[in-house]
Amino acid sequence: MAEPDDKIRCDACPVLCYIRPGMTGACDRYANRDGELVRVDPHVLLERTLQDGGEVVPFMIPAREWSGDILNAPTPIVTAIGAGTTYPDYKPAPFIVSSKVDGIDMVTVVTEGIYSYCGVKLKIDTDRHLGPECATVRAKGEPVGHVTTGEYGSQMLSLGGVNHLTHGGKKEGRVTCETLLDLCSRKAVELTVDGGATVIVQAGLPPVVNGETEERMRVGCGSATIGMFAKQWYGKVDEVVVVDDHITGVLSEHQAGKLLGARDTGIKMKGRRSTPGRYFHVAEPGTGWGGANISDPLEIVAGFDKKVAWSGLTMLMVSTTGEQHAFYRLDDSLNPIEAPLPDTLRVSVERIRENCEPALCSVLFMGGAGGSLRAGVTENPVRLTRSVRQALTTVTAGGAPVIVWPGGGITFMVDVTLLPDNAFGYVPTPAIVAPIEFTMRLDDYAVLGGHVDHVRPLQDILDERRKKSADRDTMLAPARGEA
């Protein structure tokens, strides 16, 4: 319990509340923060609402015919979806919302940005080769992006950007814009990579590579898989090769096998040996076993050393996802002959599969709030940037959290699955229209040169929306986030 001395007296109204530290007065508007009388922190609402199940959809709560006020409804988050904007954005952003009614002097500057500089980063969970790095990615035959550096268990594509949107041909810009919009709207998009695969990408769903649905991410690279399962294989099989386009692992040579005392098998692998039991470039990249261009795993085995190998030697070959596997026994002339997989090994193959996570496509929208967009928020755009840097202003996109890049400007990325449906749009410029909100304290807003005279109480916007929605229910993005 606080010391009696810590309480402060609020003189904002004749109730003259004594307010204990950390508490609010009778009005819920003023609080005692460390002995200082303050307005309640503006960010609390947004965070609290998100935590409570993400009721991040704007403007009104559906299925409520009676006006919300009589129910003492909580404050919904106002998002920029459907806010509309002008371009260039020299006028104050469409909604600058001040919620005083619910006790918090919060300002959410709500606008829909028009992003000529924007794109999506695609993470496609697959080891299958989609195409060489830097290869052009096409939609409907038009170049819309390229293959960029691969990441763990995933292929990365970078699509859109100012060059495809505005510097290419007219058709290129239009198709790029369409592709970005579809990806951001969580629709399926077919992409082809020059010299590579055709892949169907849809946010939150498995990729379809050359007509085959990818099911699982690999458990690790071939070498890592050897390390993980060596103990389970030792004593049950003489040799294990984990086929992987990046690093193929060989049990008998691998450090993990040596430690267990695995016997040399005299296996000769194709490709380049990196360290014992680890092989690079055993084949060309492809969409076969372990992301290599092979359908018969024996293609990567050059043979067996006659001085070391023996008749009856057993070998398991398995991919990094466990989806492909084959079992062999050497005949008298040391040729591997395929045989049924023994049950003792089936368990380990199934375990590899079990440890592979579902393969999905992730779509991050990336955009930059340009000078003109920022001018819609404040008369002095650079101060908005500084305010974001100082964490005085929170940036969200359709109510969803964003990653803001360090460095100049306000360049951010957001997972499109966190935004409500129909959050993105486009203009024929061509450019993508996406929601962006800047949330800050009203007094901070004034300091950064905000359009304070255009600030409107939240309730006004709610009511205006409510009126409009009477004729046009479709204007409202349906609620998400209960899942």
Chain residues in the site for other proteins (CB under 8 A): 1, 4, 7, 11-20, 23, 25-28, 48, 52-53, 55, 61-67, 69-74, 100-101, 457, 459-460, 463-464, 466-467, 482
Q: Residue 452: helix, strand or coil by DSSP? A: helix
When the beta carbons of 37 and 427 are compared against other proteins, the nearer one is: 37
Q: Shortest approach of other proteins to residue 479 CB, angstroms?
A: 8
When the beta carbons of 73 and 341 are compared against other proteins, the nearer one is: 73
**Alpha helix (H) ranges present in 234-389?**
255-260, 343-354, 371-375, 381-389
- The closest of 348, 319, 334 to 235, measured between CA atoms, is 348
DSSP characters over 227-245: HHHHHHHBTTBSEEEEE-S
Q: Shortest approach of other proteins to residue 76 CB, angstroms?
A: 8
When the beta carbons of 98 and 225 are compared against other proteins, the nearer one is: 98
When the beta carbons of 11 and 305 are compared against other proteins, the nearer one is: 11
Q: Shortest approach of other proteins to residue 82 CB, angstroms?
A: 17
| Cβ–Cβ < 8 Å for 221, 197 | no
**Sign of the alpha-carbon torsion through 480, 86, 385, 432:** positive
When the beta carbons of 432 and 455 are compared against other proteins, the nearer one is: 455
Pairing of strands 361-369, 8-9: unpaired
Q: Residue 345: helix, strand or coil by DSSP? A: helix
Q: Shortest approach of other proteins to residue 57 CB, angstroms?
A: 12
Structure tokens belonging to residue 122: 């695609």
Q: Shortest approach of other proteins to residue 413 CB, angstroms?
A: 30
When the beta carbons of 105 and 299 are compared against other proteins, the nearer one is: 105
Q: Shortest approach of other proteins to residue 107 CB, angstroms?
A: 17
Would you call the peptide bond into 88 cis, given omega within 30 degrees of 0 as the criterion?
Answer: yes
Q: Shortest approach of other proteins to residue 47 CB, angstroms?
A: 13
Alpha-carbon distance of 177 to 427, in angstroms, equals 9
Alpha-carbon distance of 17 to 21, in angstroms, equals 12
- The closest of 188, 191, 193, 190 to 129, measured between CA atoms, is 193
When the beta carbons of 7 and 43 are compared against other proteins, the nearer one is: 7
